[in-house]
Amino acid sequence: MKKKKQTSNLNKYLFIALSALCIMLMVLSVFYEKTGGPFKVAANVTVIPMQQGINQLGAFLVDVSENFGTLKQAHAENKKLQEQIDELLMQNNTLQEEKYELERLKELYKLDQNYAEYEKVGAHVIGKDSGNWFSTFTIDKGSLQGIEVDMNVIAGNGLVGIVTKTGPTWSTVRSIIDDSSNVSGMVLSTSDKCIVRGDLSLINEGRLRFEQMENNDNPVDVGEQIVTSHISDKYVQGILIGYVSEVQVDSNNLTRSGYITPVVNFKNLQEVLIITKTKAQMTGTEEPAQE
Amino acid sequence: MRRIKTRRFLITAAITILCYLLQCTLFPYLTLASVKPNLLLIITASYGFMRGAKDGMLVGFFSGLLVDIQFGELLGFYALIYLLIGYFNGLFHQMYYDEDIKLPLVLIAGSELSYGLIIYFFLFMLRSEFHFLHYLSHIIIPELIYTIVVTLGLYPLILFINHRLEAEEKRSASKFV
């Protein structure tokens, strides 16, 4: 009996000690960003290599199963794609013309910042958030490869998210569909600004909300492109977020809100591209030169 | 005796890490209604009532810490939640006996529910997201059900490993005497 009491006392002390440790870590990590450092290194030698291994195994299995896909399908697709190429070539020609015109106009306005050519590096997604509440994921490149917090992450031609944490060979990315994500966006055609918010209740439908768009005379139609805006201090300008799928005037009659269908398929994200310059670095070096 | 102890430690650590890895690599592809089960909670709670508060707390603390390092915003937040879950399940250690599956299921369901409520309260309600019923019906309850279903498969496995280890411990103890 006495022994039992001792162990339960011991458990109590251990409980109090570990809780205190947790609270201390929380307080420390609020005030010092470096607190997580040793833990990140520990993760780097333990779970990260294993995650990479599992990921490679998964990719291999997917490859094998895809190879069994019928050749017929490939042929049919090939034919379809050929037709598409012809069509696109036509479009490309007209676009080329417009591009030259744009270049001339740009020169005219001395707008020589070319946002289309950001330098990027690729990375694999190796792990996803362990819970159901947030949409973050881990990639297999970290501070040793030059990844920094606040770098933008894209996939295909659309915005995926932003780097929120870096370890030696891994980083954590918060995707734009995450409930705590806010992106300053704008309508491509009219440059009306809005806030694009991730919403947990919309994740199932694969949609995003946008809010606080000025209710002016510029019409915003369904299918309009929303890109990252120039006033955002974290996201670089002109990355496609998605297409407007619904828009309505708010009850205050001053703003509009609605829904966006993102261009990126967040469910099957395997490879992403990271823009290796943060917005702060870009503006920090370019703004003083202009003034 | 010491060897057996290190062995138990290593096996427990391996189970924790394995569950964590499955949780963030395989299970995102096995979601139902975009919800995945919470393996870490299952092992934390089971170690709590199966082995007592101390083991529950340690398993909980380290699995929470892993989540914190990779995905958490605040280091120590998830560690504390899982620590609490391990501790409170440990209080039921004396009521627990092997053949009974009802108590484990009730305890794991209870832990899962309180886990969901804690996360909602601290990470959503405090950001003024007040659609509690929506979160309850779309995340907390589905996650609870899925976790219970996975428990039915995972729990006997943990129990089996524990039995094997306990039998070995007993054997070596009797040899020692």
Tell me the per-residue pLDDT of A60-115, one tens digit each, with 9 for 90 and over.
Answer: 877 777 776 667 788 888 889 988 888 888 888 888 878 877 877 776 555 444 44
B67-112 residue pLDDT tens: 988 888 888 899 999 999 999 999 999 888 888 888 999 999 999 9
Single out the residue of B130, B160, B152, B162 nearest to residue B42, CA to CA.
B152
Q: Which domain holds residue A151?
A: 118-291
Which structure tokens are listed for A31? 């005030």
A50 within some domain: no
A99 and A144, same domain (yes or no): no
A15 and A149, same domain (yes or no): no
Q: Cα dist. B50→A202, B47, B93 in Å? A: 39, 5, 6
A107 and A136, same domain (yes or no): no
CA distance A80 to chain B (A): 30
A169 within some domain: yes
Q: CA-nearest residue of chain A to B85? A: A15
Model ipTM value: 0.80
Residue ranges of E strands in chain A: 120-128, 136-139, 152-155, 158-166, 171-175, 182-187, 193-197, 208-214, 225-228, 240-249, 255-262, 271-275
A12 and A135, same domain (yes or no): no
Taking only residues 26 to 45 of chain B, the set having a beta carbon closer than 8 angstroms to any beta carbon of chain A reads 26, 28, 33-36, 38, 40
Q: Which residues, in sequence order, are bridge partners of residue B35?
A: B32
CB A203 within 8 A of CB A135: yes
Q: Which residue has the tokens 């996975």?
A: B150
CATH number for the region B2-167 comes to 1.10.1760.20
CA distance A140 to chain B (A): 12
A37-41, A225-229, B52-56, range with the lowest pLDDT:
A37-41
Q: Which residues, in sequence order, are bridge partners of residue A226?
A: A187, A242
Q: Which residues, in sequence order, are bridge partners of residue A128?
A: A137
Residues near B110 by beta carbon (within 8 Å), at least 6 away in sequence: none
Which structure tokens are listed for B3? 């060897």
CB A246 within 8 A of CB A259: yes
User: Would you report the helix, strand and coil content of chain A in percent, each value rounded to 5?
Assistant: 40, 25, 30
> Which H helix or E strand runs over A23?
helix A2-31
Q: Least CB-CB distance to B53: which of A15, A22, A170?
A: A15
Q: For residue A181, give the CATH number of its domain.
A: 2.40.10.340
Single out the residue of B108, B92, B107, B104 nearest to residue B143, CA to CA.
B108
C-alpha to C-alpha distance for B47 and B83, rounded to whole angstroms:
12
pLDDT band per the 50, 70, 90 thresholds, residue A290: very low
A25 and A96, same domain (yes or no): no
- Is the pLDDT assigned to residue A7 strictly greater than 70? yes
C-alpha to C-alpha distance for A186 and A178, rounded to whole angstroms:
19
Which of A19, A22, A178, A179 has the highest number of chain B CBs within 10 A, making it the mutation to test binding with B?
A22
